[in-house]
Structure 1
Amino acid sequence: MKKSLLAVAAIGAFASAAQAQSSVTVYGILDVGFSGATTRASQTKSNTTALASSSETSSRLGFKGTEDLGGGMNAFFTAEFQLYPTDASLSGDTNNGLFNRQSFVGLSKKGIGQAAIGTQYTPVHTAVSRTDAGQQNNIHGDVIYSVSSGTGATQTTTAYTTRFNNALTLQTDRFAGFQVNGIYSNKNSNQNNPATTQTVSNNTALGLGINYVWQKLNVDLAMTSSKQESITGTTNTAAALPAAAAAATSVNVLGTSIGILTNYAGASYDFGILKAYAQYINTKYTSNLDSNSYMTRSAQQLGVRSFVTPKVEAWASIGNGSFTAGSTALPATSGSRATQDFTGYQLGSNYWLSKRTNLYAIFGSQQVSSSSVAASEGASSYGVGMRHTF
């Protein structure tokens, strides 16, 4: 009897130890409320309002876990998916299946760093998350994290690439305040059918980020470089730069065969009564068919964030930038080069009901000037709602 009790106790102790070595966490964000937007393009003005979601933070559901492998080594994973709480479909009416925000698995070693493979954020996106006063919300006015989805986002200007799939990431531990992270993405194919012309598809990307923390100072430098190219036989199948390309539209204006280079620098400093932010970004799109066909988007922004009272948090940001496009395909009157300037600002506040639940109100506006190939346009949007994290 005593031996049986000892055996049961030993099995229970082993099970408890094994369970302590691994853990899985379910987490997420639900952000719902009321939002509206006004867009202006040429002589057209459009207003939209809706009971919507994700004005402050994109709603999501995630799972993450770690397992202690011993000797300071751990296995870890993350699987995170987009949620659309106000739509009838689980993933929203315009999405098929769960949108994959992040999914990766990796290994870490204490004192060295970690490596992971899967769909993951780029070094630029990670750097922006640490140095953006608006914390990457989905309202207009932030010229660094430019709105590409959400209410009123007809002015879609992708300032940088948020994530790469088919990606390997490496990240060091922090040494003397410095931490380095890198990413490499590869998705290539080569189809050789004797009855048809050979087809080659090249999609590669890489990035590097450096983060430095000293007391209340945070500094981030990051870059990403990617190339998309499709070749049939000896002919690049990408479309040439459109003759009436608008400098304000940075979403693949050069066709499907382009190279994209993004450089980012950001910093924040906590003064105690408020936290100040400074950011700069430059993204250049270059045609693989003609290196003289290009488009750049550069912007700079300043922001502040502070608790006005123990429960009321507020932030503000203001920035400006420019688009520049160059090509012999542009109208002769433009001198084969077109430039547009833009400005933006944003105001926001949170009322914290608890550490996990807050009410919010955000307003932002952005204006783009006219150029020789594109008319002026602008947009403003607002969101009021409730956000809960779990």
Structure 2
Amino acid sequence: MINTKPCWFVGLPALLACALGHAQSTVQIYGTIDEFAGRLTTETATTRSSSTVLNNGGMTTSFLGFRGTEDLGGGLRAVFALETFIRADTGAIGRNDADPFWGRLSIVGLEGGWGKLTLGRHVTPYSLATTLNTPFVGSTTLSPVFAHVYNLNLQGGTRFDNGVQYSLPRLGGFAADFLYSMGRENATPSVDRKRDRAFEAVGSYTTGPAKLTAGYHYINLNNAGDDHDQNAWMVAGTYDFGVIKVNAQHHRVREQSTTIATNARRRTTEAGVTIPVGAGSILATYVRSSMRDASPATPDGRRSFSIGYDYNLSKRTDIYTAYYRDRLVNPMTQQTILAAGVRHRF
């Protein structure tokens, strides 16, 4: 923790003033570095290609963050967080060249007994609910449910710009987050003035070894007045038996507009297990999706699974190995990843 109030004097009064400054305003530096070596293979009905790679972010996309609080008195605190993705294999900023510098998180707000209100670029509650309720927690590379929900499916991505988020204070085992995005902030005369405006709400209830989660997602995709929008709903649950932890989640997505070609309905279901073994855990999950739309170019379904082992060397460092297969059906495309990596949190 870094004291943000410099003290240029000495003696007991100085020590007291520095301690008070530290209590009132603090900044923390944190992050994760995750890299893996592996073999990537892509197949279609007529082609096959493979490559040996050293890539970023097998279990967690690498990032660097700064967050802080200031005590404003009366139980009220100012809060902020700035986080940037890192491609640790090349040293570049962002998940890709299109990412802004503070692409992972960029928020400021207030927090008190009434909850927390923040403004800026947020991680969407729906994406957190998806990635936290799977054995490959937080992974966007080795977790098949993330690919099913966010690749060729849910629109808007895992971050919303121009957002306002309110988080309820914890009430027993209940927690909830609500996020509204202003979208592109187009001027009123534009027929697409509501383009990318979005809303998400996620609630969860934890009692003992059980956790239940429900979420809703909406985004306006209007293009030249075609009334295009998307709605999604999800339910998820986990139960920890001690010797094994089981999880399941189900998503339904409906996309509609005045253009028949963009109308679609998709369903995704995941079932997975986490089995403690030694200082680590065996992770296994299977995901199945059905995809219905008017375009013959898009797949009719998707079948994927991952199995791996994550071993903790310490509280902050782990090593892992995993095999992931993602298969799109009609037309067929298949990708497999065989990975072994190391992750360090600081």
In the alignment, which residue of structure 2 is the partner of 1:251? Answer: none
Shift of 1:306: 2.5
What TM-score does the superposition give when structure 2 sets the normalisation length? 0.88
Shift of 1:72: 1.4
In the alignment, which residue of structure 1 is the partner of 2:78? Answer: 75
SS at match of 1:100: coil
In the alignment, which residue of structure 1 is the partner of 2:122? Answer: 120
Residue 26 in structure 1 maps to residue 29 in structure 2: yes
In the alignment, which residue of structure 2 is the partner of 1:376? Answer: 332
Residue 301 in structure 1 maps to residue 270 in structure 2: yes
CA 1:88 to 1:114, structure 2 compared with 1: closer, same or farther past 3 Å? Answer: closer
Q: Kindly report the root-mean-square deviation, in angstroms, between the aligned alpha carbons of the 2 structures.
A: 2.7
Q: Distance in 2 between matches of 1:230 and 1:191?
A: 15
Instruction: Give 1:210's match in structure 2, choosing from 182, 203, 209.
Output: 203
CA 1:175 to 1:369, structure 2 compared with 1: closer, same or farther past 3 Å? Answer: same
Shift of 1:177: 2.0
CA 1:210 to 1:141, structure 2 compared with 1: closer, same or farther past 3 Å? Answer: closer
Counterpart amino acid of residue 368 in structure 1: L
Shift of 1:159: 4.4
CA 1:369 to 1:89, structure 2 compared with 1: closer, same or farther past 3 Å? Answer: closer
Q: Distance in 2 between matches of 1:324 and 1:92?
A: 30
SS at match of 2:271: strand
In the alignment, which residue of structure 2 is the partner of 1:347? Answer: 307
Which of the pair has the greater relative contact order for Cα pairs under 8 Å at 6+ separation?
1
Shift of 1:96: 6.6
Shift of 1:262: 1.5
| Residues 311-320 or 90-99, more deviating | 90-99
Instruction: Give 2:12's match in structure 1, choosing from 9, 23, 27.
Output: 9
Which entry has the higher C-alpha Rg, 1 or 2? 1
Whether the aligned pair in 1 keeps the contact of 2:40 and 2:53 (CA below 8 Å) is: no
Residue 357 in structure 1 maps to residue 317 in structure 2: yes
CA 1:163 to 1:270, structure 2 compared with 1: closer, same or farther past 3 Å? Answer: same
SS at match of 1:145: helix
What TM-score does the superposition give when structure 1 sets the normalisation length? 0.79
SS at match of 2:87: coil
Whether the aligned pair in 1 keeps the contact of 2:77 and 2:112 (CA below 8 Å) is: yes
| Structure 2 unaligned regions, length at least 5 | 1-9
Alignment coverage as a number of residue pairs: 335
In the alignment, which residue of structure 2 is the partner of 1:175? Answer: 171
CA 1:50 to 1:162, structure 2 compared with 1: closer, same or farther past 3 Å? Answer: same
Instruction: Give 2:58's match in structure 1, choosing from 43, 55, 61.
Output: 55
Instruction: Give 1:284's match in structure 2, choosing from 254, 260, 268.
Output: 254
In percent, how many aligned pairs have the same letter?
23
CA 1:91 to 1:181, structure 2 compared with 1: closer, same or farther past 3 Å? Answer: closer
Shift of 1:321: 1.5
| Residues 297-306 or 40-49, more deviating | 40-49
Residue 189 in structure 1 maps to residue 159 in structure 2: no
Shift of 1:305: 0.9
Shift of 1:56: 1.5
